[in-house]
């Protein structure tokens, strides 16, 4: 809406704020289904990947959320696309990716035809952060 004065085609990922009582209740009841992130961290640190977590990890995060709810947000696991990726010199395998588009704002607003594709280089991983072993690829739209 802001950049193009149009209605978005895609919705934002739902985000639950642990400091809101109704959101906190939802998060604590659904830890095994959610990605919980420390609101003051970046780079994939301080995260709980609910579907692949242990009951002990979920219990620890529940304790942390109750103690300092303003420090946590949660989102459903997003189904990432897969992209052929050269994994060593002899094999190409599918890896999960996400796209980070860019918008330039100056006298005019320009939406860049492409962006940065982040790649989860670890097989089966959904974590694309470079600090957690992810990689990146330039992505360009060549034709419209």
Residue 44: pLDDT band by 50, 70, 90 thresholds?
Answer: low
Residue 68: pLDDT band by 50, 70, 90 thresholds?
Answer: very high
Q: Could you tell me the two tokens for 57?
A: 């990890």
DSSP state of 100: E
- Output the average pLDDT for the chain: 88
CB 33 within 8 A of CB 76: yes
User: With 80 as the cut, is the pLDDT of residue 139 above it?
Assistant: yes
Specify the pTM.
0.72
Using alpha carbons only, what angle is made at residue 125 by residues 17 and 34, rounded to the nearest 5 degrees? 25
The larger pLDDT score, comparing residue 60 to residue 127, is at 60
CB 119 within 8 A of CB 136: yes
When pLDDT is averaged across residues 111-131 and rounded to a whole number, the result is: 82
Position 102 scores a pLDDT of 87
> What is 9-48 written as a DSSP string?
SSPPPP-EETTSHHHHHHHHH-GGGEEEEETT--TT-SEE
Where are any strands of DSSP class E within the chain? Answer: 16-17, 34-38, 47-49, 72-76, 81-86, 92-105, 109-119, 135-140
Domains along the chain with CATH numbers: 16-76 (3.30.1490.270), 81-140 (no CATH)
Considering only 35-39, 44-48, 53-57, 103-107, which range has the smallest mean pLDDT? 44-48
The larger pLDDT score, comparing residue 40 to residue 67, is at 67
């Amino acid at each position: 809406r802001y950049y193009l004065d149009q209605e978005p085609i895609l919705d934002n990922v739902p985000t639950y704020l642990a400091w809101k009582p109704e959101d906190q209740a939802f998060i604590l009841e659904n830890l095994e289904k959610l990605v919980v992130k420390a609101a003051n961290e970046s780079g994939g640190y301080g995260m709980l990947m609910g579907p692949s977590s242990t009951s002990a990890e979920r219990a620890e995060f529940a304790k942390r959320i109750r103690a300092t709810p303003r420090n946590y947000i949660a989102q459903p696991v997003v189904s990432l696309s897969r992209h052929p990726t050269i994994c060593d010199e002899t094999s190409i395998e599918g890896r999960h990716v996400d796209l980070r588009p860019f918008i330039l704002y100056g006298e005019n607003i320009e939406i860049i035809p492409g962006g940065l594709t982040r790649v989860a280089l670890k097989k089966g991983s959904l974590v694309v952060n470079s600090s957690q072993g992810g990689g990146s690829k330039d992505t360009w739209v060549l034709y419209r």
